[in-house]
Each structure stands twice: as C-alpha cells, then as structure tokens.
Amino acid sequence: MSTKTIVHTTINGDPVEFLCEPRQSLLEVLRETLLLTGTKEGCNNGNCGACNVIMDGVLVNSCLVLGVEAEDATITTIEGLASPDGLHPLQQTFLEHAALQCGICTPGFLLSAKALLDRNPDPTETEVRYWLAGNLCRCTGYDKIVRAVLDAADRRDRVTR
C-alpha cells in the first residue's frame, strides 16, 4: 500500500504536485499533505458536505474523490474563494447575515453556494434550499444561510446589470 503516485493538479490557480497513496482521499491529501485545512471533515462518507470543493467546475465531496483521481484537475478550495481585491460576495453576505455560528460547515456551504450561483445566478429560495440539501449545518437552522445566498445573488445581479 505504500507505493505513491505523483499527481499534477491546479489548486486555487497554482500548479500543485503531490505524492499520494492509492487509498488516500482528495480530502486527506488537501488536509494532511497540502495543509489546506480550510476544507473540513465531518463524516468522510459524503453525507455532510463539509469537505465540498469545486473540481473542474463540478461541486464534489472531496472525501469521495481519491487523490489520484485529481490528476490534471483544476480545484477550488475555500482558500481560493476570495480574490486579492477582497472577499467573494458570498463570504461577505455570510458575515453580514450572521450565517455561521461555529463555522465548521461554512467552507462547504460557501463552495456549494458558489457552484449554485455560477450556474443559476438568480435562484429562488426553494432552489437554494434544495441545492444546499447536501450540506448539513447543525447551528443555524439554515435560515440565515439561505438569506445570505439569496442576498449574494441579488448583489451580483445588481453588479452585472
């Protein structure tokens, strides 16, 4: 089991190479090998969404992707969401709406919400709720999270008009 493979990726815009064992998940590689610990582990079996990252434009549970499957992939993690100009609108609205309490699920929610707004810039409340069904939050009851996502969509809408 100790044979390692070299994997070439682009993570948050930078070329990143890492060595990993076939049995290591992308989540483990991000957290333990690359020390990108903003991606969280809540269940390690795809039920909670805390480990969500965007891989080649698709929202994935990084605990369900093997590290070796990331060869040639382009990955966005929470560490890559803000730009040098400032926070992503979702990060800003999450702060303003108090859409986090403990904050452990927040990175996953932010990536999930970004993936939603990237494909549906003007979602309804119901669309937001169903899109976020794969992300568990135990602190907020989702109320302020849903409001923060809708508000971020509104703000982006205003900017593009």
Partner 1 sequence: MAMKENGHKNGYRVIGTRPIRPDGVDKVTGRAVFGADLHLPGLLYGKVLRSPHAHARILSIDTSAAEALPGVKAVITAADLPQVADKVKSLGESVGNLRYMSENTLAREKALYHGHPIAAVAAENIHVAEEAVNLIEVEYEPLPVVLDGREAMQPGAPILIQGLRTDELGKLGSEPTNVAAHIQHKRGDVEAGFAEADVIIEREFRTETVHQGYIEPQNGVALWNDDGHIHIWCSTQGAFAVRSQISDLLRAPISQVTVTPLEIGGAFGGKINVYLEPLAALLSRKAGHRPVKMTMTRAEVLKASGPTSGSWIRVRMGAKKDGRITAAQAELVYEAGGFPGSPVGAGAGVILAPYRLDNLQIDGYDVLVNRPKASAYRAPGGTNAAYAAEAVADELAEALGMDPIDFRLINAVKEGDRRADGPMLPRIGYIETLQAIKNHPHYRQPLEGPHRGRGVAVGFWFNWGGKSSVSASVNEDGTVNLVEGSTDIGGSRASIAMQLAETLGIAAEDVHPQVVGTDLVGYNDVTGGSRTTYGTGYAVHALGVKLNEIMRELAADLWDVDVEEVRVEGGVFSAGDRSITFKELVAQGSDTPITASAATHPKDAGPAFAVHCVDVEVDPETGKVTILRYTAAQDVGTAIHPSYVEGQIQGAVAQGVGWGLNEEYIYDEEGHLLNASLLDYRMPTAPDLPMIDAVLVEEAPTPGHPFGVRGVGEVSIIPPPAALANAIHRATGVRMTALPMSPSRVMKAMIEH
Q: Which residues lie near partner 1 (CB under 8 A)? A: 1, 21, 23, 31, 35-45, 47-48, 50, 77-79, 81-82, 87, 91, 94-98, 100-107, 110, 126, 128-130, 132-147
Min. distance of Cβ 148 from partner 1 in angstroms?
Answer: 10
Min. distance of Cβ 102 from partner 1 in angstroms?
Answer: 4
Which residue lies nearer to partner 1 by CB, 129 or 155?
129
Q: Which long-range contacts (CB under 8 A, 24 or more apart) does 126-131 make?
A: none
Residue type, 160: T
Which residue lies nearer to partner 1 by CB, 14 or 72?
14
Which residue lies nearer to partner 1 by CB, 145 or 153?
145
| Burial of residue 21 (number of CB atoms within 10 Å: 0-12, 13-18, 19+) | middle
Which residue lies nearer to partner 1 by CB, 9 or 91?
91
Min. distance of Cβ 6 from partner 1 in angstroms?
Answer: 18
Tokens encoding 128: 């937001």
Min. distance of Cβ 20 from partner 1 in angstroms?
Answer: 12
| Burial of residue 14 (number of CB atoms within 10 Å: 0-12, 13-18, 19+) | exposed
Min. distance of Cβ 124 from partner 1 in angstroms?
Answer: 12
Which residue lies nearer to partner 1 by CB, 72 or 142?
142
**Residues in contact with 135: Cβ distance below 8 Å, sequence separation at least 6, in sequence order:** 48, 49, 50, 52, 105, 108, 109, 112
Residue type, 109: F
Residue type, 94: F
